[in-house]
Amino acid sequence: MQSFTLFASPWWVNLLVLVPIVLFFACRKDRLSFTRRDLVATAIFGIAFGFVEAAVVVYLRTILGFIPVSSDQLVQVTNVLPQNLFAVEFVREIATIVMLGSIGALVGRGFKERFAIFLWAFAFWDIFYYIWLLYLVKWPSSLMTSDVLFLVPVPWLSQVWFPILVSLLSIFAVVLSVKNDRK
């Protein structure tokens, strides 16, 4: 089992933990106005999209001979991908963010609401990405397992606990920021 590592790499990835906190404080006065239907539908989208992401990762790792996956092999995956596949993977990750952002644009009624729904869908997507990988290929073996989180603009590296923490904080920030008067 790996030992706990506090910081992600590059250093600025660690600042992501502040995003849901800033959202919460930005919405304290002017609460978010989502229905339960909005939140459930976008959570379901995130959960389903997490499966799609996990499937793509399983396919890539299988094709490259990295199933089962060890922590040491994760950084190798980015180094072993042929340049044309790396470019496709790079753009696919950008497309993922665009699709999650589009959900925010469709549901939200202003910048804060759009951003909040983006974070909400992203959080469910990210958490369920790891849940689906655990179900499909028994990876990650623990929350201390190292992972490549994102490739844009450079590879982001951390242990699995970090994106899970940011995602849980995002879910709590949205829940605590929603008006209670809409159903």
Is residue 123 within 8 Å of 168, Cβ to Cβ? Answer: yes
Query: Residue 78 has what pLDDT?
Result: 61
CA distances from 170 to 16, 32, 93, 98, 100 (A): 10, 14, 20, 18, 14
Residue 94, beta-bridge partner list: none
Question: Three-class SS of residue 156?
Answer: strand
* 61: pLDDT strictly greater than 70: yes
Percent of the chain with pLDDT over 90: 56
HSE (side-chain half, CA atoms, 13 Å) at 109: 7
Flag whether pLDDT at 44 surpasses 70.
yes
- pTM score, two decimals? 0.87
Q: What's the whole-number mean pLDDT along residues 122-136?
A: 95
**Dihedrals phi, psi of 145, to nearest 5 degrees:** -70, 135
Out of 39-53, 96-110, 138-152, the most confident range is 39-53
Give the residue extent of every domain in the chain: 37-177
- Decide which of 152 and 164 is more confident: 164
Pick from 30-44, 87-101, 118-132: least confident = 87-101
User: What is the rounded distance in angstroms from the CA atom of residue 10 to the CA atom of residue 178?
Assistant: 33
Tell me the percentage of the chain whose pLDDT exceeds 70: 89
Identify the burial level of 123 via C-beta atoms within 10 angstroms of its C-beta, where 0-12 means exposed, 13-18 middle and 19 or more buried: buried
| Position 175 pLDDT exceeds 80 | yes
Checking if the pLDDT of 168 tops 70, the result is yes
Q: Answer yes or no: are the C-beta atoms of 50 and 127 closer than 8 Å.
A: yes
Beta bridge partners of 156: 150
